Amino acid sequence: MSRRSITLALVVSVIAVTSVAGGRAGADQPPLKIGFITSYSGSTAAASRVADAAINAWIAQHGDTVAGRKVVVIRRDDTGPQPEVARRQAQELVVGDKVDFLAGIIFSPNAVAVGQVSAQSKTPFLVMNATQSKITHGDPYMARFSLTLPQLSAPLARWALQNGLKSVFAIYLDYAPGIDAATGFEQAFTAGGGTLAGEVKVPLQNPDFSGYVQRIKDAKPQAVFAFVNANGGGQPFLKAFYDAGLAQAGVKILATPDLVLESFLPTYGDMADGIISTGNYSANHASKLNDAFVKEVLKQDKGEAPPDYNSVAIYDIMHAIYNVTAAQKGSLDPDRTMQLLGGMSFESPRGPLEIGKDSRDIVQTVYIRRTEKRNGQYVNVEIASYPHATDPLDR
């Protein structure tokens, strides 16, 4: 399948392998339709491609039939942070294709838009990314399998304090997830006795980081908390950071996981060295389940890039869809589906996860990672963990 065919047209993916639930799809059983919406275009195209490979990895490992229903994945490109496009595609999937589930979405504004369709049609919507706090509150048929940025940034603040970093400058994108990320970090950091040396919001579209980095340099912090790559700004930020001499001066980068996505690391070269990040998943995570997951995703993606937090989330979404479909013996009721999702727990390639019974949001281990070169390539190596993490702003 070419990338162009994905971005220009609806693609139906069915892989003929043995059923995980046992038994074959009966002639009278309708297919199980999953509408997968993501951003195959723009700065997140590579991550979306790997997420696509993760869906195929799940099906290759666990079969294309569950509770007698053949699994059909219908893919759509929302083209980036375009809520109206995402809403229209969700409507087409629900009304025209009559999907049983909506899944995917990278950008929070798109998730809110799709959530409106989900709530109105009572179509379960399982979110792959969309990290803004509290978005599940607006749609009783939404469950999030990814993360929220405060869920990740608060443990990063605690780690910074535990490791002698008392002065931090915050730089973040000026939209809801960026504000959430900074708020989660700053609240935990100052509550623990840290000092905020300064902060700056940067525009979501085409930021020029040189002026902002100069402000960081003038403030002379020990470290920088950065949420800068949700729009593809990671490389320009790192270049400005290095050009200003901050790395040479020993200023550490404390980042959200978007900066060090595995698919981006090869483009950074040695600028990636030593970045401290927070995340819910790394392809380098040590477990047999993750080893098998990484191997299969690389096979499905023809070795182009290892999985990241988007791809592990959609893999877990497929796991959850198979679970709730098997539990209902193939006859799906949306309200029963949501009851089953609330409180669901299982072992993921990222480690143990749970969906909150009332919040329908993710509870998981948050890892602190250092980006290091191993076997000739940069990877995120886990150096600390914070189990059972929730969103500190969703209380």
- Model pLDDT for residues 239-274, shown as the tens digit of each residue: 999 999 999 999 999 999 989 988 889 999 999 999
In this structure, are 108 and 74 located in the same domain? yes
Q: Is residue 395 domain-resident?
A: no
| pLDDT at 207 (0 to 100) | 80
Q: Which domain holds residue 333?
A: 3-147+286-360
Whether residues 12 and 99 fall in one domain: yes
Q: What is the pLDDT of residue 263?
A: 80
Calculate the CA 381 to chain-centre distance. Answer: 18
Residue in the block written with tokens 């029963």: 336
How far is CA 37 from each of CA 90, 190, 296, rounded to the nearest angstrom? 8, 38, 22
- Provide the domain count of the chain: 2
**For position 116, which CATH number holds?**
3.40.50.2300
Per-residue DSSP letter, 10: -
Say whether both 270 and 333 belong to one domain.
no
**Sequence letter at residue 333:** D
By C-alpha distance, which of 179, 172, 180 is closest to 209? 172
- pLDDT < 70 regions, the chain: 1-27, 230-231
First to last CA, the chain: 44
Residue 260 to residues 254, 267, 308, 367, Cα–Cα distance (Å): 11, 10, 10, 13
Q: At what angle do helices 45-62 and 288-300 cross, to 10 degrees?
A: 110
Cβ proximity of 337 and 317 under 8 Å: no
pTM beyond cutoff 0.85 = yes
Which of the 8 DSSP states describes residue 190? H
β-pair type (167-173, 223-227)? parallel
Do 8 and 112 have their domain in common? yes
Q: Is 229 part of a structural domain of the chain?
A: yes
What is the Cα gyration radius of the chain? 21
CA distance 385 to 280: 9
